[in-house]
Amino acid sequence: MYKRLRIGILLFILLTVAISAWRANAKVTGWKSTLQVALFPINADGSTASQRYIEALQPESIEPISKYLGEQASAHGLQMLYPVRVSLGPVIRTLPPPQPRGGSALDAIRWSLSMRWWAWRHTPATAIHPDVRLYLLYYDPATHTSVPDSAGLAKGQIGIAHLFATRTMHGSNLVVSTHELLHTLGATDKYEPRNGLPRFPEGYAEPARTPRLPQLQAEIMAGRIPRDEEHAEIPVSLDETLIGPVTAREIGWARQ
Ligand SMILES: [Zn+2]
């Protein structure tokens, strides 16, 4: 009896979340008004390096994301002066629930629900109510050679980016953050999960280029610049990336 009740309640919550996510998604990918995105920095490893990096962040530090999305949108024919406005929110001091590694589909659903619950409880109020919230988790590169995979809750308007707290990585941090932001709008990855290499043609910035390799830029959802058949490099800035036609379609920029 109680078990059935528990399952019933869980299904009810899932259905409510699904309906509200669907309605919010229709709004954010309708591109009728400027999409408001708030970025919230978090010191993920409690380090001094992360603390310093976060303290040095200024609204101008993240401005290239708004500029980039404006340029890319106009390249795809979206007639909007400012499709996305990215702003820097206050620092959050509570860590989000850790992502399950591998795990079952049920683990993923549980994490997605607890992530939404955490976001609802710990996101500070901002002057403009954001359509999308992106949490930037920083780690000291001196003690972390790698960071966890970033995750955007597809169509959930919530994303997490795991980043390195060093000025030399700032450009690639913006690339990762923009990639995760696009996930929250429905964009899918365009690389092979087994080796991280961009998929041809949709994961290539210039699929028609001859010779095909090396490429000069990365398709943002492929995340890397293909240099030869076995190697691809992480872009050092948004200037080294573009939004390809498949990603543009997924986020509602091109409806042909
Ligand atoms: Zn991704």
pLDDT of residue 15: 76
Q: What's the CA-to-centroid distance between 80 and ligand 1, angstroms?
A: 26
Question: Is there a contact between 52 and 91 (Cβ–Cβ < 8 Å)?
Answer: no
Q: What's the CA-to-centroid distance between 185 and ligand 1, angstroms?
A: 12
pLDDT of residue 256: 47
Total domain count for the chain?
A: 1
Q: What's the CA-to-centroid distance between 4 and ligand 1, angstroms?
A: 36
Question: Is there a contact between 62 and 174 (Cβ–Cβ < 8 Å)?
Answer: yes
How far, in Å, CA of 249 to CA of 200, rounded? 17
Min mean pLDDT across 47-51, 52-56, 75-79, 242-246 is at 75-79
| Mean confidence (pLDDT) of the chain | 91
Q: What share of the chain is helix, strand, coil (3-state, %, to 5)?
A: 40, 15, 45
How far, in Å, CA of 30 to CA of 220, rounded? 21
Across residues 238-256, what is the average pLDDT? 91
Q: Is the pLDDT of residue 79 over 50?
A: yes
Residue 149 lies inside a defined structural domain of this protein: yes
**Count of C-beta atoms within a 10 Å radius of residue 174:** 24
Assign residue 155 the CATH number of its domain. 3.40.390
Min mean pLDDT across 5-19, 47-61, 153-167, 234-248 is at 5-19
Give the confidence band of 34 by pLDDT, cuts at 50, 70, 90: very high
pLDDT digits (tens, 9 = 90+) for 102-119: 778 888 888 888 998 999
Residue 22 lies inside a defined structural domain of this protein: yes
Residue 202 lies inside a defined structural domain of this protein: no
Residue 213 lies inside a defined structural domain of this protein: no
Residue 140 lies in domain: 2-186
Question: Is there a contact between 159 and 153 (Cβ–Cβ < 8 Å)?
Answer: yes
Residue 247 lies inside a defined structural domain of this protein: no
Residue 255 lies inside a defined structural domain of this protein: no
Q: What's the CA-to-centroid distance between 3 and ligand 1, angstroms?
A: 36
Q: What's the CA-to-centroid distance between 230 and ligand 1, angstroms?
A: 20
Q: Is the pLDDT of residue 17 over 80?
A: no
pLDDT digits (tens, 9 = 90+) for 36-63: 999 999 999 999 999 999 999 999 999 9
Q: What's the CA-to-centroid distance between 221 and ligand 1, angstroms?
A: 6
Residue 201 lies inside a defined structural domain of this protein: no
How far, in Å, CA of 155 to CA of 112, rounded? 11
DSSP one-letter code for 204: B
- Cα 114 to Cα 93, 121, 122: the distances in Å are 17, 10, 12
Residue 107 lies inside a defined structural domain of this protein: yes
